[in-house]
Amino acid sequence: MSNAFDLTGKVALVTGGSRGLGREMALGFARAGADVAIASRKLEGCEAAAAEVKAIGRRALPHACHVGKWDELPGLVDAVYKEFGRLDVLINNAGMSPLYPSLEEVTEELFDKVIAVNLKGPFRLAALAGSRMAKADGGAILNIASTAAVRPSPGAEPYGAAKAGLNALTRSLAFAYGPKVRVNCIMAGPFFTDVSRHWDMEAFKERAATTLALKRGGDPSEIVGAALYLCSDAASFTTGAVLAVDGGSY
């Protein structure tokens, strides 16, 4: 069964791959044998994560790209194919959820940016990569959503709406690109990434004690097992699934 999780000879593209959950998945996939393309807005961050992948012994491609900008995405996919000659796994991980003082003060610009990064970009990348995967050897697409998609998200309403759309896209794209391409989604709960530095940690611990079965937030490395499962042959009969990895959120 261990061979089912082996990604040797595969190529994975991880957006938002320079830090947080994306970085952990990039490194986890490299340890499983994959070569990895890492995309993020800042090239230096991509290069740092790529150096970590190379230290594991895998090839890596750092590529600066803003996922929310439609016209930049074909160049990202083309760069991966130029470097590696193939793409087997796409992880739509890049996301953003800026703070705002009140709902009536949410500007159209802020709303559009949140939708662009969390929903429009993943759709475009999935279409670009999925169509090429389907014409070749197939592959896997993994969307990273949030429990904000299905639970009240005060202070993050546009973000929750965008992630709910990503859940819906997951199911539709599974049919659009099946049977050769599987499309799944991880609905992530609270992880201690860079964003968590801005949390009121005492208030979070108090909430976690009653709203999370595990009574704690997740370490970013704890998303890797679920991601590896959904993108490997271990999940060969799993598509259109939305898997909660959230510590048992109530």
- CATH code of the domain in which 29 resides: 3.40.50.720
Distance CA 71, CA 138 (A): 25
Distance CA 125, CA 92 (A): 8
Burial degree of 150 (CB within 10 A; 0-12, 13-18, 19+):
middle
- Write down the pLDDT at residue 1: 60
State the pTM of this model.
0.95
Q: pLDDT in tens for each of the 250 residues of the chain?
A: 668 999 999 999 999 999 999 999 999 999 999 999 999 999 999 999 999 999 999 999 999 999 999 999 999 999 999 999 999 999 999 999 888 999 999 999 999 999 999 999 999 999 999 999 999 999 999 999 999 999 888 889 999 999 999 999 999 999 999 999 999 999 999 888 877 677 778 888 888 888 899 999 899 999 999 999 999 999 999 999 999 999 998 7
Residue 120's identity, in one-letter code, is K
- Write down the pLDDT at residue 114: 97
CA angle 220, 12, 21 (to 5 degrees): 15
Q: Are 17 and 25 in contact (CB under 8 A)?
A: yes
Residue 19 lies in a domain: yes
Q: Which residue has the tokens 């009240």?
A: 152
Q: Are 25 and 91 in contact (CB under 8 A)?
A: yes
Residue 250 lies in a domain: no
Residue 250 falls in the annotated catalytic set: no
DSSP symbol at 218: B
DSSP symbol at 249: B
- Say how many domains are in the chain: 1
The domain of 63 spans 2-245
Q: Which residue has the tokens 């973000």?
A: 159
Q: Of 159, 177, 229, 250, which is the active-site residue?
A: 159
How many residues make up the chain in this entry? Answer: 250
- Write down the pLDDT at residue 2: 65
